[in-house]
Structure 1
Amino acid sequence: MKSCLVVDDSKVIRKVARHILEGLSFEVREAADGREALDACLASPPDVVLLDWNMPVMSGMDFLRALREASLSAKPKVVFCTTENGIAYIRAAIEAGADEYVMKPFDRETLQSKLQIVGMA
């Protein structure tokens, strides 16, 4: 079973994402900020990370940079999931190592198609 770490400071978004991902047969873990997510990834890397941009403690971009610099045996795919929709944000996310980008709010079809693009669905 593929695993996904949902990283978002919104409990509602984590719950919605969990519901969709479990319906797609993913094992789901959650983190409320980038620091918690980084600790979870270092302990047990997921197959894919669904990542919010704006969070307290450690932002999505800071988490992504730290994740890409970490010496993990398997590098998780990262799908940014955010309300930031400017081309500059998308470019910055991809340049920092994100594999794909999805806008909030998202639905099952949108998320599934992004996961297919990164080879996870």
Structure 2
Amino acid sequence: MYGPQQPSVQYLPPVVVSQYVNQWVTTSIPNYGEVTAYITDYNRRTGMVSMFIYRAPSYRPQYIQVHNSDLVGIAPYYGPIPPRPGRPPRPRPPYYPGGGYPGGGYPGGGFWPWIFGQAFGSSQQRY
């Protein structure tokens, strides 16, 4: 009468995904597995999530777009930014209201200057 229980997959509501735009997260995506990602955009009309994913062991950035229903679980990521192999995660510094994170503001760095250098030619290192 009541066969074996099958695990159910709970889809993330769109409002949850939209809260993580411009943030680092960990999530699981079919065909990619567990990933660390930076969510760059979420289109509420189509449900598409744009992100850079970083997968072990190389942690090289890969830009993908997936539907929000493909994300299985989502949580903030507090490790090194960008993720790098061989380094243990470090705690995120405290957030200061009105001031952001110490050392994380402009000028001098952050995700966008780093990704700009990766995409448009930093003479230091190429992947």
- Fold in common (TM above 0.5): no
Which fold has the larger relative contact order, with Cα–Cα distance below 8 Å and residues 6 or more apart in sequence? 1
TM-score by length of 2: 0.27
- Higher Rg: 2
TM-score by length of 1: 0.28
- Which has a greater percent of helix? 1
